[in-house]
Amino acid sequence: MNYEFRIVFVAAIAASLAFSACSSEDFDNELWTASYDTVWQTVNENHYDSTFGGLDWSEIHGRYQDRMKAVDSDEGFIKTVNEMLRELKLSHYSVFQMKEKAKTGSPMFSSGSVGVDIRLLDNQVVISKVVPDSPADRAGLKPGYIVESIDGVAADDIIGEAEAEQLDHFNERKKLGNVADDVLGRFFGDAGTQVAITYLDEADMIHEATLERHQRTGETIISDLMPPFYMEFEAKRIGNDIGYVNFNAFAPPVDSLFDEAIDAMMDVRGLIIDIRGNPGGMHEIGESIVSRLLQEKTLFSVFRSREGTEEVVVEPRGATYAGPVVVMIDVMNGSASERFSGCIQSIGRAVVIGERSPGSVGPSDLKELPNGASFMYLVAQSLTPDGTVLEGHGVIPDITVKLDRNALLTGTDTQLARAVGFIRDEGRK
């Protein structure tokens, strides 16, 4: 089985025909029931562990089937089914309305951006990056500034509300990453709309700014079932002797853009792949990247499913780069980005610098349910070549470095500075 991120289509038309004689309310109930059964059965047939971690999956079906009888809305359906899925205590199990998800502010799906990135440092919303010539840059925002409110809502209240929504089985890294992602999403939205913020500058003086979200480029469509992604890719040289690559998801055309970047930087002293905050995407993109960094055929990762164990072996492709490689991660990484960083670390091809990732790792599939909702579900367990299960464990950096607000205010990204220092130290050996 090839465990790429796949989209599985389900014919909702058949369900509509089957229930065409029902009243509107009965029709909805039938669709919710059919969708619930589809979710349960999909997990029953595809979960990588036939014992479900000791859970009685059949008992769970009956218990939540009783609760389904009281469902009277799509929102109630989604809430009930997701509560059932949370019994598994694993990532990549979720039912949601794709169109509604796309309407909310999202670093991946939103067409408009003001050009900032943020991190939670000491429970404060700190700007960690400002894109040159972006609305945020033109308004005078800088790394290290503290966001006090967004659209009239205090940052403390946004954080508190997001923290209250985190589940007990999430580890602290996953909770922190989710909260930061919620805050970051508020800076994104439709192009042409505005976001109003108050913030503290380097002297802790308070300011106000209203930023208009500009149209993003890099629109990429992977499937009709999903809204467009907005891909961001940067490749440059630091100090003329270190290659730097940064991208926001493991999705096309990152593979081809990375090829172009590595071809242009074969002479650098070392290469930094900055995937901090990268939520993941398609596993084969990571394999394409690593194929340009290997000198011999290598076992890169392992997938464990109900059908057995599959070893993913990657062969060198084209002209390959042999110098030192650093991969940068943090608590906002997820899925394919964690698999990539964990596996390239495990085979000894890269040093990982930053903060330990949450451990929210696929691979997963996506299918449309009879009622039109989308269902994401795990199809395998992801392991590094040395046998480490990434789900829940995450990736532990070889060198742990945290961001620091005071350093950001002076223009220093402490994690990036440590990566640059590591490569320059390696070059002296």
SS3 category, 269: coil
Confidence of residue 116 (pLDDT cuts 50, 70, 90): very high
Low-confidence winner among 2-16, 32-46, 119-133 (lowest mean pLDDT):
2-16
Same domain membership, residue 116 and residue 77: no
Same domain membership, residue 396 and residue 283: yes
- The pLDDT assigned to 101 comes to 61
Same domain membership, residue 124 and residue 70: no
Share of the chain above pLDDT 70, in %: 91
Range(s) of the domain holding residue 67: 6-98
Q: Residues 351-362: what's their mean pLDDT? A: 96
CATH code of the domain in which 245 resides = 3.90.226.10
Same domain membership, residue 31 and residue 84: yes
User: Helices marked H in 111-207 — which ranges?
Assistant: 135-138, 155-164, 172-185
- The pLDDT assigned to 428 comes to 64
Mean residue pLDDT across the chain: 91
Q: Residues 125-146: what's their mean pLDDT? A: 98
pLDDT at 5 over 90: no
- The pLDDT assigned to 220 comes to 87
Same domain membership, residue 25 and residue 81: yes
Count of domains forming the chain = 3
Q: Residues 114-120: what's their mean pLDDT? A: 98
Same domain membership, residue 248 and residue 120: no
Confidence of residue 140 (pLDDT cuts 50, 70, 90): very high
Confidence of residue 26 (pLDDT cuts 50, 70, 90): very low
CATH code of the domain in which 193 resides = 2.30.42.10
In a domain, 253, yes or no: yes
Same domain membership, residue 409 and residue 383: yes
Amino acid at 314: V
In a domain, 139, yes or no: yes
pLDDT at 265 over 70: yes
In a domain, 32, yes or no: yes
Same domain membership, residue 200 and residue 301: no
Structure tokens at 99: 């169109």
CB atoms near residue 289 (< 10 Å)? 24
pLDDT at 154 over 50: yes
In a domain, 371, yes or no: no
Confidence of residue 112 (pLDDT cuts 50, 70, 90): very high
Give 374-384 pLDDT, tens digit per residue.
999 999 999 99
Give 157-196 pLDDT, tens digit per residue.
999 999 999 988 899 999 999 999 999 999 999 999 999 9
Contact 147, 199 (CB under 8 A): yes
Structure tokens at 339: 């698999």
Domain boundary among 55, 75, 98: 98
In a domain, 223, yes or no: no
pLDDT at 97 over 90: no
Same domain membership, residue 147 and residue 27: no
- The pLDDT assigned to 223 comes to 72
Q: Residues 38-59: what's their mean pLDDT? A: 96
SS3 category, 252: coil
| Alpha carbon distances (Å) from 291 to 319, 339, 368 | 10, 15, 33
pLDDT at 16 over 60: no
User: Helices marked H in 293-395 — which ranges?
Assistant: 336-346
Strands (E), 17-98: 94-96
In a domain, 374, yes or no: no
- The pLDDT assigned to 98 comes to 73
pLDDT at 421 over 60: yes
- The pLDDT assigned to 212 comes to 98
Amino acid at 97: Q
Contact 174, 358 (CB under 8 A): yes
In a domain, 221, yes or no: no
CATH code of the domain in which 62 resides = 3.30.750
pLDDT at 427 over 70: no
pLDDT at 352 over 70: yes
Domain boundary among 65, 98, 131: 98
Residue 33: alpha-carbon gap to chain centroid: 30
Residue 365's contacts (CB-CB under 8 Å, 6 or more residues apart) are 5, 6, 7, 8, 46, 376, 377, 379
Low-confidence winner among 28-37, 93-102, 263-272 (lowest mean pLDDT):
93-102
Same domain membership, residue 277 and residue 206: no
In a domain, 94, yes or no: yes
Domain boundary among 188, 215, 242: 215
Q: Residues 380-402: what's their mean pLDDT? A: 97
- The pLDDT assigned to 102 comes to 59
- The pLDDT assigned to 222 comes to 77
Same domain membership, residue 197 and residue 132: yes
Same domain membership, residue 243 and residue 208: no
pLDDT at 2 over 80: no
- The pLDDT assigned to 417 comes to 98
